[in-house]
Amino acid sequence: MLPFLKYEFLQNAFLTGIMVGLLAPILGVFIVVRRQALIADALSHITLAGIAANLLLGKWFTLFAGLNPIYFGMAFSVGGAIFIEQLRKVYKHYEELAIPIIMSAGIGLSVIFISMADGFNTDLFNYLFGSIIAVKQSDVWTVFVILVAVLLFVFFMYKELFVLSFDEEQGKLSGIRSNWILVAFMAITALVIAASMKIVGILLVSSLMTLPVAASIRIAKGFKQTIWLSVLFGEIAVISGMFLSYYLDLASGGTIVICLVFILSISIFYKKFTVSRKVV
Amino acid sequence: MENQINNPVIHVDDLSFHYGDKNVLEHVTMEVKQGSFLGLVGPNGSGKSTLIKCILGLLKPQHGGVYLFGEKVQKFNKWEKVGYVSQKANSFNTAFPATAFEVVSMGLFGKVGLFRFLKASDKTKVWDALKSVNMEKFANQNIGELSGGQQQRIFIARALVSDPELLILDEPTVGVDIESSESFYKMLKNLHRDNHMTLVLVTHDVGVMTDYVTDVACLNKQIHFHGNTKEFEESSLDNLSAFYGHHVHVLHHDHEHE
């Protein structure tokens, strides 16, 4: 066993990281091709409001103090996801408006809750930027349950999600009930965002959903390959990022994101290099 | 009407549609018989695409209705009988990371049903559909890497893969060069002749179309002519001038579609 995996908290962090590195890019592929990359950002900010609410309640009632804030984060995030889908119907011709509305509402609530709880503490800092030391045993199990649910959903609904992402008209003609599938998809996206926050942090969670896809979409042939490559890139970044984070004593979220940016630049240059060689 | 034995494939019954207070279709009544190849023509903004979307149940008309294979479109559920090719050249995300094979296989999803997967026999169908449009060599290319004409062939293959009895094409040659659009029309003619498929081709290109279709319907909010190609050509001069009128100018300079 690797020497630094002796510690239980590091084992927890690694298990969670590996699961999140699988989940976020899989959902990210569907989000990116539907041109909704910013939704992950909106949902992560509403997740922050949930966590801040939990910290505040923990201060007022001892009952909430022992509760893992991940559950409150999830509840807010899923609520926000459903709200976004409703807003998109209200603003049919300005669908993207839903994103800044939810994002600012999330930040607004978070700031109010934080100030009521007498400001920042290290807990909150960990949620913002990610910290592998903060991952608990209960987080591992929560993420594991989400992992199973998401994998089942994507596995059995793959056809439907694929058609709906490519063109909704064809989906309707195939008799696919688009509405509940899209709402369910948004809800599980919200869960994954809440689940990822301990590792990469709320401010950086959307990058784990979009950057691996941005890298793979340039070089992959076909949709399935895009998914596999995105997962591969996500895992490489999470694992190497956590190693670096531990040995260099850096925030895990930041190192993971920088690893992703590194992979992305390699894929961009790789594509440029191979395309220019073809021309010659 | 529904209980007749020899139902037309499409029956449009006194259909009217408006967006807000703008009338798009007024009292359209039309039949498409089995085995016919209908050219639906009309100037831009004449409501052709809206009519097609009503026929497919994607839009709900405010008045009148549509029957597919004798069944009201809202209750119709045998969508594998219907293939549809929309104005893809204008609208779809060309950067979408899907291979030609993956795009064609989407045409089978309605038939396969929820929670099921494509079987080996389904994959054979996808290959057959790709072969029928001469695109099997490009199966593993991303759709975005193909030319406009090749992409359109892939979308035809997607419509054909479920072995439909009715194929509806909405301006399929928009954004396709003339050479490939000619071979495209020939391919449609072969499909009609060899597979006894019922075809509806929406176009504003009156000239090319009459060489291939068996029936013509002229639409400009209302149906102005509906008959076989011979009748259309005989009365063509009267029809076209009455029908297009001062719209002829619009036809050549306005490239927007409804």
All residues of chain B having their beta carbon less than 8 Å from the beta carbon of residue A33 are 93, 96-97
Residue type, B88: K
Cβ–Cβ of B92/A167 closer than 8 Å? yes
Nearest CA to A145 out of A216, A68, A85 is that of A68
Contact A4/B at CB under 8 A:
no
Q: What is the ipTM of this complex?
A: 0.81
Q: What is the pLDDT along chain A (280 residues), one digit of tens a residue?
A: 566 677 787 888 889 999 999 999 999 999 999 888 888 889 999 999 998 898 888 888 877 777 788 888 889 999 998 888 888 878 877 777 888 899 999 999 999 998 888 776 767 888 888 877 778 888 899 899 999 999 999 998 898 899 888 887 777 777 777 778 888 898 899 999 988 888 888 888 889 999 999 999 989 999 999 999 999 999 999 999 988 988 898 888 889 999 999 999 999 988 788 766 544 3
> Could you list the residue range(s) of the whole structural domain that residue B221 is in?
10-253
Q: How far does CA B235 lie from the centroid of its chain?
A: 25
User: Distance (Å, rounded) from C-alpha B233 to C-alpha B213?
Assistant: 12
Contact B146/A at CB under 8 A:
no
- pLDDT single digits (tens) B10-24: 999 999 998 888 888
Chain A nearest CA to B235, separation (Å): 37
Cβ–Cβ of B93/A33 closer than 8 Å? yes
Write the DSSP string, B40-80. Answer: EE--TTSSHHHHHHHHTTSS--SEEEEEETTEETTT---GG
- pLDDT single digits (tens) B67-102: 999 888 888 888 888 888 887 555 667 778 999 999
Cβ–Cβ of A176/B109 closer than 8 Å? yes
CA distances in angstroms from A134 to A21, A110, A257, listed in the order given: 17, 20, 18
Nearest CA to A27 out of A142, A195, A276 is that of A195
All residues of chain A having their beta carbon less than 8 Å from the beta carbon of residue B58 are 169, 172-173
Cβ–Cβ of B92/A33 closer than 8 Å? no
Domains in chain A: boundaries = 3-273
Count of structural domains, chain B: 1
Q: Is the dihedral of CA B62, B67, B71, B77 positive or negative?
A: negative
Q: Is residue B1 part of a domain?
A: no
Cβ–Cβ of A159/B109 closer than 8 Å? yes
Given A169, A175, A224, which is nearest B58 (Cβ)? A169
Q: Is residue B2 part of a domain?
A: no
User: Distance (Å, rounded) from C-alpha B69 to C-alpha B33?
Assistant: 10
CATH code: domain of residue B55: 3.40.50.300
Q: Tokens 């409804």 label which residue? A: B258
Look at domain A3-273 and name its CATH class.
mainly alpha
User: Distance (Å, rounded) from C-alpha B239 to C-alpha B245?
Assistant: 9
**Can you read off the two tokens belonging to residue B177?**
């060069």
β-pairing, B22-32 with B10-19?
Answer: antiparallel
Given B97, B109, B114, which is nearest A217 (Cβ)? B97
**Can you read off the two tokens belonging to residue B238?**
């009267």
The helix/strand/coil state of A12 is helix
Q: Which alpha helices (DSSP H) does chain B contain, by range?
A: 48-55, 88-91, 100-105, 109-112, 120-132, 148-160, 178-195, 206-209, 229-234, 236-244, 247-253
* Residues found in chain B: 258
Contact A93/B at CB under 8 A:
no
